Structure 1
Amino acid sequence: MVLNRFLLWLTIRTCLLLATLVAIAYSFTQFELIYTPLVLAVVAIFQISDLWRFIRRTNDNLTRFLQAIETRDFTVGFRQDKIDPSEKRLHKAFDLILNTIQASELSRQAQYLYLQGIVEHIPTGIIAINEREHIDLINPEAQTLLDIPNVANWKNLKTENSEALTKLLQLSHGESRLLEITINGNKKYLSVSLYAFKLIDKSIRLFTIKDIANEIDQKELEAWIKLTRVLTHEIMNSVTPLLSLTETMIMVLKQPNGKAKKVADLTDETIRDMVESLETIQLRSKGLLQFVEDYRKFTRVPELQPTPIEVKSMISSINLLMASELQKAGIQVQMPEQSTDLTIQGDRKLLEQVFINLLTNAIHALEGSDDPLITWRFEPGDRWIDIAIKDNGSGIDANKLEQIFIPFFSTKKDGSGIGLSLSRQIIYRHKGRIHVYSEKGVFTEMVVRLPVG
């Protein structure tokens, strides 16, 4: 609307000037109009001057308006009095646009300050690095956790924990890792994650860093309490009968005055009781020794020897290995129809040990089931592959689901309780996860999530 009025006034002024020029030309053809061309010439000069001032004043105002937008100078104002009506409307439009931009800028700055306040006070370290390894953002928590100064370039960081900083750059998108670093003699446990994304024309790597020492201490304490409870239970179950049998044998072999009986005083029945007691002691001692051996296995997982592993081939070989037991139990096994190009990177021997243990547990869970069925499932993703084994057996009680990975806890009467604990430890060593889902009397599904090769 304002632009239309400006063009209208410009057109009117131009038309009046053209009319004056035409009148001047006409007056030269009329010799009796001697002074008329001179008067019209003065009028034309006045019109040209007015038109020039009108255009120049509009251009100047437009230049001031655009410069105000470019420099974000919202103190610029445009007068509203003693000016042409068309210019007045134009000035009002300029002021309205500047006020709108100013309000938008203030809102944007307020939002930026709000987010900046959150970033500076959030109890998680945040570092944003662009493709040239320039630090676009770093909050005080990140500087404190990593003990680094406020520098502009990541390459300029020279600190005693440079190794930890190097490990940060080795993370891939979406990866999380636990770092153990020592700064000024204090050991820190940091959970670090990386998220990579593009912002306009820049590639950004956003690191989040959190000190989880307190959480680790709490979980470690809980784990020690659970482990101590299990160890105490197992040891007491073995030591108590050993102590009782030993005391009984001492009573049999001693006289009332405390002296040892002579061999001639021992009856055949007494000797048989002693032999049975010694056999029991031997049996319980072997059980205790086996318990200690299981504990040793749990605490000494061998180093990984990673190689590329084709998932379906590995699971098929495990099914073939367990085929006789599956056939003996009358269990049907279903394999997915995915292609054979799902590959992971890991230690095949250790992973086969994990899946053999899971398959064995599924076989035991199917004892006494009608139409026993074990189903394998492969679910590939961008960064992970889920390998799941599901049975339609007895299931697991809901209150025991969280305990099945505790060392030496077992839902089976003759189980050592070490299989699932060891399996989870092996999967964790592969930077994976293992989860269990179950409904009592319906199914149990173990899902192993491993990173792609």
Structure 2
Amino acid sequence: MLNEFEVSLQPVDSFTSTQLVKNKYENILQQLDSAIMLFDSEGVLTFINMQMAKLLEMPRVALNGCNLLQILQNPDLNRFKKKKIIKIYRETIFQRKRYHELIDESGQHWLITVTYGDQMDGDFLISMKDVTDYKQIEQTAYRNDKLATLGKISASIAHEIRNPLTAIRGFIQLLRPHLLQLGKDEYARIILTEIDRANDIIYEFLNSSKPSAPQKKIVSVHSLLKEVILLTESEALMTGCQIVLVEESSPLYVSIDVKQIKQVILNIVKNAMDAIDELDGERNGFIEIKLKADKKYVQISIRDNGRGMDPNTLAHLFDPFFTTKEGGTGLGLSVSYRIIRNHGGVISVDSTKGIGTEFIISLPLCTGC
């Protein structure tokens, strides 16, 4: 009888050795965070890991040994995924593209890499990696850069326009006695009023594109939200919308610039009413403002049952000048983003087309207040 040491020295046949190596590498591929599938030179799927099968929402046993056409004809594969697979196939074969980007139904960003060539012996390796976090970082950096540029442009515009307006105003005031003698004082009054209105517009634009440093004071979040609801109640009733406040029993306090934060919340609530109004009475409008807190932050959730947004709109929602409203400036949410960031907070949004939208504003909790 062979002891344990002698057994370990017994030769292993080449088939068993190859199978062990294959199993080892397949196990490694299963543990990767990337989704992987491998087609041989005949176009037959020879390997797919669990992550890829999960993304396709199909069992691995139903996919292994199939060619691309058989996979596309599988009734369990939804229409969205079929369209994306066909698009990637065409771009790879006809345009020789090796890298593809797509946004799935839930708004997640994926980087798809197709590896083929002599080193692959005719095989095609397709890998997919979730790059949503990287995209969010990239978009945040891009958004911050645009906001900084916007601030510089607005300051320059304000300076260049205000100077001639000031000069015009001065000359009109000098001419006013002569216009009064001619019985045309009304003209002077209108000109001065319009110059002042132009100055007010410039001031509002400058203030909105480059919010001033917050003048903070400690306030009750409950009181702030109550005031916002009072300001919007009449407009909500006109659009057939109900606003409900759900809050925690314990009082919550934050250190904020009340005017700025109120501006942010009012802007989101009014956007919610607009989204509900666009439904044209398809269902009763509903806006829920919910308040809760953890150890560090107060969370203000503003959820509506309006028309919702698609992933592309969501991706650009906080970009300056991006708007889906006719006649909108596209500054409201980009300014809101900067105001919340200046308060050390975070603003996020989740939306589903046809169902509704939820904004969540997180602000540092004032402890010991």
Give the TM-score taking structure 2 as reference length: 0.45
Q: Greater RCO between the two (CA within 8 Å, min separation 6)?
A: 2
Q: What TM-score comes out, normalization by structure 1 length?
A: 0.37
- Say which one has the larger Rg: 1
